[in-house]
Amino acid sequence: MAHIRISSLHKYYDSVHAVRGIDLDIRDGEFTVLVGPSGCGKSTMLRAIAGLENIDSGTIEIDDEVVNNLAPGDRDVAMVFQNYALYPYMNVFDNIAFGLRARKFPAREITARVQAAAETLDIVELLKRLPRQLSGGQRQRVAIGRAIVRDARLFLFDEPLSNLDAQLREGMRVEIKQLHQRLGKTMIYVTHDQIEAMTLADRIVLLKDGSIEQEGAPLDLFERPVSRFVAGFLGSPSMNFLPAKLVENGTYLGLRFADDVTLALPAAASQRLASRVGQDVTFGVRTEHITPARDGELDDGFVDLLVTIDLTQPTGSRTYASFKLAGVAVQAELRAHDVEQPGEQIKLQIDMNRAIVIDPSTELVI
């Protein structure tokens, strides 16, 4: 069990400022996911915590102890690597036992612990095999086994699922989540996959260009993004963004698009944005908030829109459909048979309560 405190962490690679003054607290037993596009500094941070990268300034504390100058082996952390980093010339048993042997555990305890870890991960029958005789998923389990057998206080995962195919990835995701629940250890998990981040994390730390863009519970970030970047990064398909102008629209405000279509904003948003009338903004709305209009009255804060569908992408349970709004392609989430063919007209409703308005000059949500 461990809590981590990172203060003003900086890391340079030659002239590249990879981590730019990050402060972060991670609580005991928390499952934290560092997520962001490649080059955002997430792996560097993880490796810095592990002790595999030197840091240029700042401190990393584990359980109130500054570990800046501690060798990786002395930090009592375990790490699972993207490519598993199994030792190819040792069988599974020896792979899992390696860390215990390095730490001079007695032979009997090593056997017992490896056995226990293998049972946990359901790989008992693989113990005598060499890594190259294992499938990708099996290797992944061995790699996790190697991490858990030591009972370290902190677990680090560096994109551990990115080498697996989609189906296995989903299964392993569940297992890792279960593992966390069972062990209750502090875990830090790096990924560039927002679905992994959303599904696994107690807390997501979204990084961009070496700084934290936003951190918090997954749904917090999803529902209340602070910036266009966060809004666009989380969620699949990606959020729709359209340029618009904030205008007076009767009682409340509205968003007017290039082709003079105006969408009414609900009361709360109108109040919040009253001082910005006349400004250019970016309108953001997720696909799932653009749905076929129901017959009858629109709910409060909903607007409707008659559109011509250009393109459909059925996924089975639902169909994503594109249409043009003021010349910009927008995706809506429809039920399977709402539209049979491109070219059909359909009346859609947009949940303006869930839409966001962004100041294009700062890219921040307003």
- Please report, as ranges, the residues that interact with another protein according to CB under 8 A: 50-52, 71-75, 77-79, 81-83, 85-90, 98-99, 102-103, 132-133, 135-137, 146, 150, 163-165
Angle formed by the axes of helices 92-102 and 107-121, nearest 10°: 130
Question: What span, in angstroms and rounded, lies between the C-alpha atoms of 193 and 127?
Answer: 31
DSSP state at residue 174: H
CB of 103 to another protein, least distance (A): 5
Closest contact distance (angstroms) between CB of 61 and another protein is 18
Q: CA 198, CA 191: separation in Å to the nearest integer?
A: 11
Residues pairing with 322 in the sheet: 311, 331
Q: Quickly list DSSP for 228-275.
A: HHHHHHSSSSPPEEEEEEEEEETTEEEEE-TTS-EEEPPHHHHHHHGG
CB of 5 to another protein, least distance (A): 20
Provide, rounded to whole angstroms, the least separation between the CB of residue 221 and another protein. 27
Q: CA 202 to CA 191: how far, in whole Å? A: 14
Give min distance, CB of 24 to another protein, in A. 20
- 156 versus 309: smaller Cβ distance to another protein: 156
Which residue lies nearer to another protein by CB, 77 or 263? Answer: 77
Cα(38)–Cα(294) distance, integer angstroms: 41
CB contact at 8 A, 357 and 273: yes
CA distance 278 to 248: 8
CB nearer to another protein: pick between 52 and 366: 52
Q: What is the CA radius of gyration of the chain?
A: 25
Q: Which residue, 136 or 292, is less far from another protein as judged by CB?
A: 136
Which residue's CB is nearer to another protein, number 196 or number 213?
196
Minimum CB distance to another protein smaller for 18 or for 303: 18
CA distance 253 to 279: 12
Please report, to the nearest 10 degrees, the dihedral formed by the alpha carbons of residues 299, 304, 309, 314 taken in order.
Answer: -10
Q: For residue 285, how many other CB atoms are within 10 A of its CB?
A: 22
C-beta of 70: minimal distance to another protein in Å? 11
State the Cα–Cα distance between residues 263 and 244, nearest whole angstrom: 10
Q: How far is the CB of 102 from another protein (least distance, A)?
A: 4
Q: Which is nearer to another protein, 102 or 174 (CB)?
A: 102
CB of 174 to another protein, least distance (A): 19
Identity of the residue, 72 or 232, whose beta carbon is nearer to another protein in the bound complex = 72
